[in-house]
Structures are given as C-alpha cells and as structure tokens.
Amino acid sequence: MMINRKILTLDEFTIRQLRQFPKATGELSSLLRDIGLAAKRINVEVNKAGLVDILGDAGSINVQGEDVKKLDIYANTQFTGVLQHGISCAGIGSEELDEIVVFDDEVSNNSKYVVLFDPLDGSSNIDVNISIGTIFGVYRRLSELGKPCTTEDFLQPGVRQVAAGYVVYGSSTMLVYATRRGVNGFTLDPAIGEFCLSHPDMKCPEDGKIYSVNHGNFFQYEEGVRNYINGCQKKDKNNGGPYTQRYIGSMVADVHRNLIKGGIFMYPGTIDKPGGKLRLMYECNPFAFMIEVAGGKATDGKRRILDIQPTELHQRTPFFAGSKNMMEEMETFYTK
Ligand code: AHG
C-alpha cells in the first residue's frame, strides 16, 4: 500500500520543528498536542449540538455579563482539563472564569508556560449553525519554576506570547497556530481523528477587498472610523474600491477568512462602550500575534495591540486587524 508521507500531522509537524532547536524541552509541542486534543473533543460536541441537550443557555451569566451557553462550559472544562493533566502548563486564564486557575501540583509548578484562552468564541451563533471557535495565547511564566504561577505571569503584553492560535469549527475544523517562526494551519481529518498540515506558512495578503465590521453600530463609532467605512464603500482609483462587506459576528471565522483572502476586521469602540467589546487577553492578543507573524497589522486604532500592558485579566480594547496596506489606509483616517 502506498502511504502519502507528504501529509504531516500536528504532532509530526511540531516534533520536526522541535528538532531544529537542540536545547528545546518539547514542552511547547506537548502543550499544542494537549490543545489539539481538547479541540477534537469540543469538535465532537459542536457537531452534535443540534441533536442533544447540550444546545442552549446554561442559565448563568459569565464574568463579562453575557449569557453562558452549555457548550461554553463544556469547552472551558475540556481546555482546563487537558492543560491541567499535561506537563507544560502551570495555570490558565479563561474568558469564562473570574480568576486565573493556578494548578499548584509538583508537575505543574515545574511547567514553564501559562495559557490564556476563550474556550468558545462566537457562542451566540451556536444555535444557528454558524462557525464558532476557540482562541488561545501561550506565555512563558515570569515567576520562579518550582513554585505556583502568579497573576503577574498572565498580565504580560501580547508581544511576549510564545505561541498563539485558534480553532475554527466550520465547514471543516481547522487548528491554526503561530510561533515567531510562522503561521501554520491544520485541518482535522475526521477519518483518522488527526489535524493534518493543510495550510503551511500562511501569509496575510498585503492588500485585500473585504472589510468586516458591525454596521449596526455605525453611528456609535467615532468620526475617523465612520469616514473610513464610508471610504470602503466608494470607488477609488487608489484602493480599487468599493470593498466587499463581510461580517459573520464570529471573530474566529471573520479573521480566519481575512487572513487567507486579505481584508480588515474592525471592532471599534462606541459611544456607550469606548473600550469596544473584545477582550485584549483572550481574543485580541492571540489574533494580533498571528496576524503580525503572517505579515499583517493589528492596532486599537492608535497603538499596536501587542504593546498594550494589561492591567486586568478581562479588559477590553477596540480592535483593528488585517492586511498591511488596508490597515495603513485605515490609520490615515484616524489621524486626519
Ligand atoms: P459571543 O461569544 O458572545 O457570541 O461574542 C462574539 C464576539 C466576536 O466573536 C464577534 O466578532 C463579536 O463578538 C460580535 O459582536 P457584535 O454582535 O456586537 O457585532
């Protein structure tokens, strides 16, 4: 039988990457394997969400004041569980939890990473069969090895991420992750239950034709944003507009599409919520890291997202990210 050895699984790929660093301990590869396992378990439940009593509100409100769906809780438990049982993670911060969880056992206290994640982003879309996702960022802890990790390990600017990624549960399930060396995408082959390298060395096109924003909030945005959006709808000999508007309302799916096709994603501040809606630590930092490694840009309209020093776990930020030239064009409207 012919075996196609051109297809690398997630494990094979991360181990090959590891071999390029003779001093590497393998902890990051092990962590990514753990995340892949949680993603596969969540994927099984997402796929049968319409069939079983796992769909719908769990009846509680999360720390952001939003309804918690049952799958949110399931995804949070799976992620926390695999990271706690693994050998690489000293503690986690989750969008679903008020406080960090310090694992505080002998193995975990000797682990060098902490992970921040949004276990199920876009969960208001679950009951209408729209793509949802998981987002994660990995940081090397600052506290002393051998001791429990601390809040300081989590409140690091995004530029210090060692790796970041997302899983999109869509028409197929994909895990995309970035280290400083590049962004790679893996598609789940359901026949063998493995993530297989399908999108090696992903680059965000420098130009794009898609803009993604919630138009319903248009009159809530500040003038620079409104002018830019108006500009996107005009024919312009410089940018070749008008651009196409695409907004799913599920950040993972919106940014995934723009990363592949080129485009700009925006969640600006509004009059009522100047800090916007998206969470710096769980959503914006991981995507900013991936988009920058892929050649794009990510800002809060004025500052680079990755340079923001977080002051609290659940802080929000306006978010603009995508193709380099579209981002630079948007910035000219902000500074006008
Ligand atoms: P949720 O997880 O509560 O469904 O929020 C999803 C996030 C993000 O994924 C998406 O881009 C944004 O909220 C959409 O918010 P609006 O509906 O306000 O546009």
| 305 CA distance to ligand 1 middle (Å) | 19
- What pLDDT digit, counting tens, does each position of 199-218 carry? 999 999 999 999 999 999 99
| 45 CA distance to ligand 1 middle (Å) | 21
| Closest residue CA from atom 15 of ligand 1 | 249
Flag whether pLDDT at 6 surpasses 80. no
Which ligand 1 atom is at minimum distance from the Cα of 124? Answer: 4
CA distance 218 to 274: 13
Per-residue pLDDT band for 123 (boundaries 50, 70, 90) equals confident
38 located within any domain: yes
3-state DSSP call for residue 6?
Answer: coil
| 249 CA distance to ligand 1 middle (Å) | 5
Query: Using CB atoms within 10 A of its CB, is residue 5 exposed (0-12), middle (13-18) or buried (19+)?
Result: exposed
Shared domain check, 222 and 116: no
Q: Residue 25: its pLDDT value, please?
A: 84
- What pLDDT digit, counting tens, does each position of 18-61 carry? 888 877 788 999 999 999 999 999 999 888 776 666 556 666 67
1 located within any domain: no
| 217 CA distance to ligand 1 middle (Å) | 13
Shared domain check, 287 and 232: yes
Q: Please say whether the beta carbons of 119 and 75 come within 8 A.
A: yes
Average pLDDT score over the chain: 92
- What pLDDT digit, counting tens, does each position of 237-278 carry? 566 779 999 999 999 999 999 999 999 999 999 999 999 999
Shared domain check, 244 and 172: no
- What pLDDT digit, counting tens, does each position of 52-70 carry? 665 566 666 767 666 656 8
Which ligand 1 atom is at minimum distance from the Cα of 72? Answer: 2
Which ligand 1 atom is at minimum distance from the Cα of 254? Answer: 11
Shared domain check, 185 and 266: no
Q: Residue 1: its pLDDT value, please?
A: 52
Domain total in the chain: 2
Shared domain check, 182 and 102: yes
273 located within any domain: yes
- What pLDDT digit, counting tens, does each position of 132-176 carry? 999 999 999 999 999 999 999 999 999 999 999 999 998 899 999
- What pLDDT digit, counting tens, does each position of 95-111 carry? 999 999 999 999 999 99
119 located within any domain: yes
Domain boundary (159, 179, 199) is at 199
Spell out which residues line ligand 1, taking CB within 6 angstroms.
Answer: 66, 121-124, 214, 249-251, 254, 277
Range of the domain at 121: 10-199
| Closest residue CA from atom 4 of ligand 1 | 122
| 251 CA distance to ligand 1 middle (Å) | 7
114 located within any domain: yes
Shared domain check, 237 and 153: no
pTM (predicted TM-score) = 0.93
Shared domain check, 176 and 116: yes
β partners of residue 134:
167
Flag whether pLDDT at 3 surpasses 60. no
| Closest residue CA from atom 7 of ligand 1 | 122
3-state DSSP call for residue 95?
Answer: coil
Query: Using CB atoms within 10 A of its CB, is residue 331 exposed (0-12), middle (13-18) or buried (19+)?
Result: middle
Shared domain check, 27 and 158: yes
Look up the CATH number of the domain holding residue 59. 3.30.540.10
Q: Please say whether the beta carbons of 208 and 262 come within 8 A.
A: yes
For 99, phi then psi, to 5°, come to: -120, 165
Q: Residue 239: its pLDDT value, please?
A: 65
| 121 CA distance to ligand 1 middle (Å) | 7
